[in-house]
Chains A and B, each alone.
Chain A
Amino acid sequence: MVRAEWAIFEEDYWAINNALEDLLHSSHAQNILLIDRTGQLISQAGEQVNFDLVSFASLCAADFEANYQLAKLVGEKDFSTLYHQGAKESMYLGKIVRGVVLVVLFDKRTTLGLVRLRVKRTVEELEIIIDGLYDKLEYRNEEYDDFDDSFAQEAEAEIDNLFVE
């Protein structure tokens, strides 16, 4: 069995993407990202961005995590949503389950109220998908486990090729 603590399968990936696309259209946001708490980008919907998405996801996770610790310090269980307001662009972050975070980037074409309202529904949808995904990981199908010796050998060769001075 693969040791990775979590994985995304084909049908869940599409279900997630559909939920993100629906939110994108119903909230009139520019961009929606789904990230996990370790800073890894799971999926994204919306316009092409002109910044580094991988770094962005990593910083969003750090932001959320730092605020989680702040919440604990002031006696809250967590801050389930965060809002960053800019002159033109704003961000709204919402906690889902299992350390997954939804990030919505939006501008003047919509309002915080509408984004907040639409996010609420999407969070519920995504919670069902993510919980289901974890259930699947517990009773996973062997056909997905294709990380055998040849994978390790190929990976090691790639590592040797890439990390040269």
Chain B
Amino acid sequence: MSLINYSSREINCKIVYYGPGLGGKTTNIQYIYDKLAPDTKGKLVTLATEMDRTLFFDFLPLELGEVKGYKTRFHLYTVPGQVYYNASRKLILRGVDGIVFVADSQDSRFDANIESLYNLHENLKEYDLDLTSIPFVMQWNKRDMPDAVAVEELEEELNPEKYDSFEAVAIKGTGVFDTLKCVAKNVLRQLQAA
């Protein structure tokens, strides 16, 4: 739920990175954090287990600068991917303005992608939302893996609605900013006069 403060002239928007466990959601956020200039980013908050698995969420605030006199901020969140952390995932989706689905291209994770996408639909329903009403971008991550499924096949199975999609190798940064730019622009377009 984007918040516009007309008095302090601020706009805050929430973007959530969703997807199966170990798919690279945190890696996306970590790369963004590492590459951005210090004055444009806040502290990266990570609530992770000792094994570096996301327990609750990662959080990174980004400051876009002033747009027509409004200080514009994006709050990036990741959700924990493991199936049994659904309660946490649901919490993070509250008030979401844009979603990036980080799919794992590996053949062995194909079913995990389908399950996570289904779970996203189910959780959005609880907030009376669906992907037609929220900016949604698909990221095909881990394109460098030897058993990566062909993009055409991923598109056919996971993205029949033809949402914007990007190939990525998040660990090297490939496709990370393209994905973020796309979802950020779509979120701000939603603020425009309908």
Instruction: Determine whether A148 belongs to the interface, using a CB cutoff of 8 Å to chain B.
Output: yes
Evaluate whether A163 and B2 lie within 8 angstroms (CB atoms) in the complex, with A8-B7, A13-B8, A148-B192 already known.
no
The answer to whether A163 touches B3 (Cβ under 8 A) is no
CB distance from A78 to the nearest CB of B (A): 13
B26 CB to closest chain A CB, in angstroms?
16
Interchain CB contact under 8 A, B43 and A55: yes
Q: How many A-B residue pairs have CB under 8 A?
A: 149
Given contacts A4-B4, A36-B3, A36-B95, contact A55 B42 (CB under 8 A): yes
What is the total number of residues of chain A having a CB less than 8 Å from a CB of chain B?
49
Q: Please pick, from B6, B42, B177, the residue contacting A52 in the complex, using a CB distance under 8 A.
A: B42
- Residue contacts A-B, CB under 8 angstroms, 5 given: A9-B7, A13-B8, A40-B14, A40-B75, A52-B42
Task: Tell yes or no: B68 within 8 A of A by CB.
Answer: yes
Knowing A4-B191, A40-B75, A59-B45 are in contact, say whether A69-B6 is a contact too (CB < 8 A). Answer: no
B136 sits at the interface (CB 8 A) = no
Interface residues of A in 96-121 (CB under 8 A from B): 99
| Given A10-B6, A55-B59, A147 and B1 contact (CB-CB distance below 8 Å) | no
Question: Known: A1-B194, A158-B65, A159-B64. Contact between A7 and B91, CB under 8 A?
Answer: no
Interchain nearest-CB distance for A52 vs B (Å): 4
In the complex, are the beta carbons of B67 and A58 less than 8 A apart? no
Q: A2-B4, A156-B188 are in contact. Are A145 and B193 (CB under 8 A)?
A: yes
Instruction: From the candidates A58, A145, A147, A164, name the one contacting B177 in the complex (CB within 8 A).
Output: A164
B162 at the interface (CB under 8 A from A): no
Please determine whether A8 and B87 come into contact, CB atoms closer than 8 angstroms. no
CB distance from B92 to the nearest CB of A (A): 8
Interface check B108, CB cutoff 8 A: no
- A residues neighboring B (CB under 8 Å): 1-10, 12-14, 36-40, 42, 52, 54-55, 58-59, 62, 65-66, 69, 99, 144-152, 154-156, 158-165
- Is the pair A13, B5 in contact by a Cβ cutoff of 8 Å? yes
Residue of B nearest to A58 (CB): B59
Residues of chain B lying within 8 A (CB to CB) of residue A69: 87, 91
| Cβ-defined contact, B95 with A37, below 8 A | yes
Smallest CB–CB gap between A141 and chain B, Å?
10
Task: Tell me if B185 and A156 are in contact (CB < 8 A).
Answer: yes
Question: Does the CB pair A163–B177 fall under 8 Å?
Answer: yes
**Are B5 and A7 in contact, with the CB atoms below 8 A?**
yes
Known A5-B2, A39-B75, A148-B192; contact A54-B181, beta-carbon cutoff 8 A: no
